[in-house]
Amino acid sequence: MNLVLFDLDNTLLAGDSDYEWGQFLIAKGAVDGPHYEAKNRAFYEDYKAGRLDIYAFLAFALRPLATHSRAQLDAWHAEYMATRIRPMIPQAARDLVNRHLASADLVAVITATNSFVTAPIAREFGIPHLIATDPEEVDGRFTGEVAGTPCFREGKVTRIEQFLAERGTTLERLDDSWFYSDSHNDLPLLEKVRHPVAVDPDPTLRTEAEARGWPVISLRG
């Protein structure tokens, strides 16, 4: 069995879907603009610097999901896909995904961004599996809490191990495995696959990839 994993933000997308969702909510007047924007930007900088407190971030990022109806959220998301996300999808990313879809047994997006935001994006690529941070739902409404293990740093390893265990296998038993990512935050999972690939990497990941002889590619050309 062959497995191909794609990070989403700044890997398949030329931007960050979580950050852009926050900016979209500000533009719609759905959140307190100046305060929310400052917090959104600060968390994004923490992420890039490798010092993000994932639970503090999720308490912030998931709160708007709990304060609006699912119908309203879904309507906003359709507009967000059209205006923010599709323009951030390079053709090279679609082509890479399609090549792997044609040959791999399992293809998945694995992302720290919550599944409400990212599930439609995975579908846009035609990727059948999504492993993401899951917002808790009760009676069809989001609670603002996280369900299970956040899909972040070492949590990505935990979540892919759970995903494979449900299919009766492990990373070690796979015939082959790939993981494409831009971020040093993904080093724990990059170290676990047979073919780690740095995609438009941040400076820390670029240094690590070059030192370890990992391929470095760009999807932005």
Residues in the chain: 221
Q: Is 150 helix (H, G, I), strand (E, B) or coil?
A: coil
Angle, CA of 36, 40 and 46, to the nearest 5°: 145
The Cα 146–Cα 143 span in angstroms is: 8
**In this structure, which amino acid lies at residue 132?**
A
The helix (H) or strand (E) run that includes residue 212 is: helix 203-212
User: Which residue among the candidates 7, 16, 18, 182 is catalytic per the annotation?
Assistant: 7
Torsion sign (Cα): 202, 110, 53, 154: negative
Instruction: Say how far apart CA 6 and CA 11 lie, in whole Å.
Output: 8
* Dihedrals phi, psi of 81, to nearest 5 degrees: -60, -45
Catalytic, 9? Answer yes
- Identify the active-site residue in 9, 16, 182, 200: 9
Cβ(132)–Cβ(165) under 8 Å?
no
Q: Is 16 considered catalytic here? A: no
Task: State the catalytic residues.
Answer: 7, 9
